[in-house]
């Protein structure tokens, strides 16, 4: 698929993914158009290909069609003003795409809304990488400067309530970019009603990894669904320096 979906520019890449039916939503397409993938790939000469790339520390920036799938799955909960947690933010690419949906440029919500996107990493160098990548563009600098987006260090298996509990209002959407060994209860507890978690989870009988969604409806009823097979970096303990 990669050969069909590569391009010579960010907009060509996204347009080709759309034509190949790997992006379906015009909203997700528009958000991905606004984030230049070359700012997030260590080797920008391969940035406009539909393939993953190593970003160091045993982490990878996922292929853009995977980012599109994840964003489309969470889309009903990525509205102007939503609060979103991106666990294992790595390159920061998906954090930036989500921020474009939560803070549509020029809208009232963008100026006054209290939406928030937090990228959470357990490796400080990767926290810094995500923030540094987002700072390469003017729009990214604006979102970071207004505290609409922030990158923090912590163990994603525990979710994020802030250094001093300032984020304990919870999350409308939680994206997990690394494979968990279980559906961590703390993440479900931090999910708002309604809300959705998108998370790769190791099959408990060793059958590989699967994407799961966890939905909490208006009444707080939780529904878990197993979707398709994937291969992600594991959600683990931070390596010792």
Rounded CA-CA distance 15/50 in Å is 12
The binding track of 7-46 with respect to ligand SAH, each residue x by CB under 6 A or -, is ----------------------------------------
Structure tokens at 210: 């699967």
Contacts of 231 (CB under 8 A, 6+ apart): 208, 209
Interaction between residue 90 and ligand SAH (CB under 6 A): yes
Contacts of 141 (CB under 8 A, 6+ apart): 134, 135
Choices 86-94, 101-109, 161-169, 210-218 (CB under 6 A): range interacting with ligand SAH: 86-94
Residue from the set 6, 10, 16, 60 that interacts with ligand SAH by CB under 6 A: 60
Interaction between residue 177 and ligand SAH (CB under 6 A): yes
Interaction between residue 233 and ligand SAH (CB under 6 A): yes
Q: Are 113 and 103 in contact (CB under 8 A)?
A: yes
User: How many residues make contact with ligand SAH (CB under 6 A)?
Assistant: 25
Interaction between residue 93 and ligand SAH (CB under 6 A): yes
Please state whether 21 falls in left (phi above 0), alpha (psi between -120 and 50) or beta.
left
Find the shortest distance in angstroms from Cβ 197 to ligand SAH: 14
Quick one: 87 or 214, whose CB is closer to ligand SAH? Answer: 87
Quick one: 156 or 195, whose CB is closer to ligand SAH? Answer: 156
Annotation says 62 is catalytic: yes
Which stretches does DSSP call E strand in the chain? 53-56, 59-61, 83-87, 116-121, 149-153, 171-176, 191-202, 209-216, 222-230
Phi then psi for 180, rounded to 5 degrees?
-90, 160
Q: Active-site residue numbers?
A: 62
Residues contributing to the site for ligand SAH (CB under 6 A): 57, 59-62, 87-91, 93-94, 120-123, 126, 155-157, 177-178, 233, 235-236
């Amino acid at each position: 698929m990669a050969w069909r979906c590569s391009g010579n520019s960010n907009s060509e890449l996204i347009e080709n993914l759309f034509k190949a039916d790997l992006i379906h939503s015009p909203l997700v397409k528009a958000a991905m158009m606004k984030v230049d993938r070359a700012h997030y790939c260590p080797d920008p000469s391969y940035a406009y290909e539909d393939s993953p790339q190593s970003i160091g520390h045993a982490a990878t920036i996922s292929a853009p069609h995977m980012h599109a799938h994840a964003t489309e799955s969470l889309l009903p909960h990525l509205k102007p003003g939503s609060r979103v947690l991106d666990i294992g933010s790595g390159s920061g690419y998906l954090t930036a795409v989500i921020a474009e949906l939560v803070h549509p440029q020029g809208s009232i919500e963008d100026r006054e809304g209290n939406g928030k996107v937090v990228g959470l990493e357990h490796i400080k160098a990767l926290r810094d990488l995500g923030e540094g990548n987002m700072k390469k563009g003017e729009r990214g600098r604006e979102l970071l400067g207004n505290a609409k987006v922030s990158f923090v260090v912590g163990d994603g298996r525990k979710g994020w309530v802030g250094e001093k509990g300032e984020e304990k209002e919870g999350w409308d959407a939680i994206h997990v970019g690394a494979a968990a060994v279980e559906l961590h209860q703390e993440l479900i507890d931090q999910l708002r009603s309604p809300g959705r978690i998108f998370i790769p989870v190791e099959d408990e009988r060793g059958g590989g990894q699967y994407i799961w969604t966890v939905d909490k409806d208006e009444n707080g009823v939780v529904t878990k669904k197993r979707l398709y097979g994937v291969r992600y970096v594991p959600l683990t303990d931070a390596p010792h320096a």
